[in-house]
Structure 1
């Protein structure tokens, strides 16, 4: 027993019994209220669906956190196995930054169509731009080394306040529309062209492709990717009306994100059914713009980058992958083109699911870290990217 503990006990013993009882009652009521309004980690919620073996492996990989609805798909060649809890292969989720792989595919497709070139500069897309930002190329954005800031500059002081407040009330922090994204380029500061993950950059890239095509981003995704591939459950939402919501890491409701003009960075909603189509089409290079997935340069010590897509250098086999995170959702998609295996996990809880990579790939054996440490490090690295 410590000195501090002795002091606390003596002080309590000297209180009048009635006041002590009131204090204990108040403390008990406060604890009860907090327990009632704060969800605690409870593991996986809802009835299991699909393949029980896959779900058991997924539960083991993801661990005991506050999970609401989870859906997964494991791909082996042309065979797809689905599993979930409280969800199935047609349950809709926000896929977050996996949206960037669609934007990158549109970039590759636009090059094939002759609408842009890899080295097209922003000043060529929007001739009114001048200065350093006008010299930023579309490819540098697609490879996350443009020097553009990580997040969209807020259109106004009020929008800035609301964006910060959204972190506390769990609403969509992206308030600018497509016009605001373009207008913000006039005042943006461009840093060094070195690897740095930028949601703002991909918002700009998507809007540049829309400008070059003479269509909005939503139509480009539908007409050039989802319709040709038969992905009927994948779309860019125009508004939050009627959309399902997700949950924070502790289980509190979080409003849906549509991201406004930043939609090309993370607004797409989809299902594991459709994402398995996307994975196989990119892997087999039958998807429009599939060459976007080819690694081109080093991004960091653990990954190379293509256009949006990352490829690991420290796993066996190495995976081509992207993850995603919004206010109430997390996602992971990864595949190995050689073995033709892949994994997709979508959840409406803000808990990272990157550890699902272990279901088809393992940390390289020559690394000094343990497998669990490597998985944690990978999640921490990728978490900052989404």
Structure 2
């Protein structure tokens, strides 16, 4: 595959110079293609991680059907690992290019779109929900000038949450397989019009509705769809080639419940800003690198804004969508996500310049959290990638 390259430098075929040059090019290209910083293939687990995953109490031992795609960042180095197949005991092996539903990790993208507008000076930090609402949607007195966009992006708005309230049960009754399929922009506005009071505003309550509404309104303001806005403002500038609302490749992970039941691809319509993106660990490594070292310019400033604490109580500190925790004496940013058939985790530590991405072909937040902890602790021990 490399035989034509030395000819570009003027050596005749089969000459000594040609043969020596060909060998040199082969070595150089193999070194580049398979170096830890650039390889997008799955690698074997390092010895320390291998025992943690395959030992008597390892992840694979306790979750034998679970398939994982893992991305690791430490300083300038990158490594990718994969365990299992797209489907348990069959399918094709997972690798770093396999696409997964990343669920609520999507919220960090939606929050970044908000921060982008704030850094651009188009939305003040204290802007209220009304600043994005169309004239046809009016709030009841109990909500006027009480819900800020920042509160919506940090789970403290007090709005209905579309998860464990009367709305989710009605959606399940309508379609138990795809309950969010019927959630349109008008449905979000309907909920807003019906809401006459806020539930414990200013305190943390996880909220899918707030993120769905926020992303929908930001896209409407920009005159684009949510998916197009993510592409324009985030994916393309950061080089995220397969991240989006649709599958950009045929190499797709299977989707299973914790019991191994097959699930269809999730269809969530206007709930997309809360959990609709698909991605792989190659793209999410690029995303984490941008979090660790934000690029210059507006997008970089917006990334930094999402990482600033805006809420704190005895149990959690929130940036914009990012959960901020103290682990091993350092501030760590994290977001996990679940759909009906996949689970995900993104974690990074700016002080140590490390990051971990875990994507699973089962909806199993517990297993993914355990895998994330194992890999993160391994990184802290400064073990080889």
Tell me if 1:305 matches 2:318.
yes
* Counterpart-to-counterpart distance in 1, 2:181 and 2:351: 38
Kept in 1: contact 2:155–2:206 (CA 8 A): yes
Deviations 1:122-144 (A, max 9, x none): 22222432223343110111111
Q: 1:182-204 deviations in whole A, cap 9, x for unaligned? A: 23210124212111110111111
Distance 1:313 1:63, change over 3 A: farther
Query: Which sections of structure 1, spanning at least 5 residues, go unmatched?
Result: 1-47, 363-386
* DSSP-derived class of the 2:62 partner: coil
The alignment partner of 1:345 has SS state of: strand
Kindly tell me: are residues 157 and 310 of structure 1, through their superposed partners in 2, closer, same or farther at Cα, counting changes over 3 Å?
Answer: closer
Residue 378 of structure 1: aligned partner = none
Does residue 73 of structure 2 align to residue 80 of structure 1?
Answer: no
Q: CA deviation at 1:51?
A: 2.9
**Contact 2:103-2:276 within 8 A present in 1 as well:** yes
Secondary structure, counterpart of 2:331 in structure 1 = coil
Query: Could you say which residue in structure 2 is the equivalent of 1:351?
Result: 364
Instruction: Using structure 1 for the length normalisation, give the TM-score.
Output: 0.73
Write the distance in 2 (CA, Å) between the matches of 1:157 and 1:334.
Answer: 32
SS at match of 2:340: coil
214, 218, 224: which is aligned to 1:215? 224
Alignment of 1:163-178 (within 5 A): 163=175, 165-166=176-177, 171=178, 173-178=180-185
- 1:122 partnered with 2:129: yes
Query: In the alignment, does 2:143 pair up with 1:143?
Result: no
The answer for the alignment partner of 1:113 in structure 2 is 120
- In structure 1, the partner of 2:245 is 236
Distance (Å, rounded) in 1 between the aligned partners of 2:127 and 2:288: 28
For 1:1-386, what aligned pairs fall within 5 Å after superposition? 49-53=42-46, 54=49, 56-58=51-53, 60=58, 64-65=62-63, 67-85=65-83, 86=85, 87-126=94-133, 127=135, 128-131=137-140, 132-135=142-145, 136-151=147-162, 159-163=171-175, 165-166=176-177, 171=178, 173-188=180-195, 189-193=197-201, 194-237=203-246, 245-286=254-295, 288=300, 289-352=302-365, 353-355=368-370, 356-361=372-377
- Do the aligned residues in 1 keep the contact of 2:180 with 2:271 (CA within 8 Å)? no
Q: Deviations over 1:101-140 (max 9, x none)?
A: 1001111111123332222212222243222334311011
How far residue 67 of structure 1 moved from its aligned partner, in angstroms, is 3.3
Q: 1:179 to 1:61 in 2, by over 3 A?
A: same
Contact 1:293 1:307 in 2 (8 A): yes
- Residue 284 (structure 1) shift: 0.9
Partners in 2 of 1:335 and 1:242 — Cα distance?
26
Secondary structure of 1:185 counterpart: helix
Counterpart in the other structure of 1:37: none
Q: Is the 8 A contact 1:318 1:361 kept in 2?
A: no
> Contact (CA 8 Å) 2:154, 2:318: kept in 1 or not?
yes
The TM-score with structure 2 as length reference comes to: 0.73
Distance 1:158 1:151, change over 3 A: closer
Change beyond 3 A, Cα 1:52–1:147:
same
Could you tell me which runs of 5 or more consecutive residues in structure 2 were left unpaired when the two chains were aligned. Answer: 1-40, 86-93, 379-385
8 Å contact 1:66–1:250 — kept in the other structure? no
Q: Return closer, same or farther for 1:253/1:160 CA change in 2, 3 Å cut-off.
A: closer
Name the Cα RMSD after superposition.
Answer: 2.9
1:300 CA displacement: 4.3
Instruction: Check whether the contact 2:99–2:247 (CA below 8 A) recurs between aligned residues.
Output: no
Deviation at 1:248, TM superposition (A): 0.4
Residues 360, 184 of structure 1: alpha-carbon distance in 2 compared, 3 angstrom cutoff: same
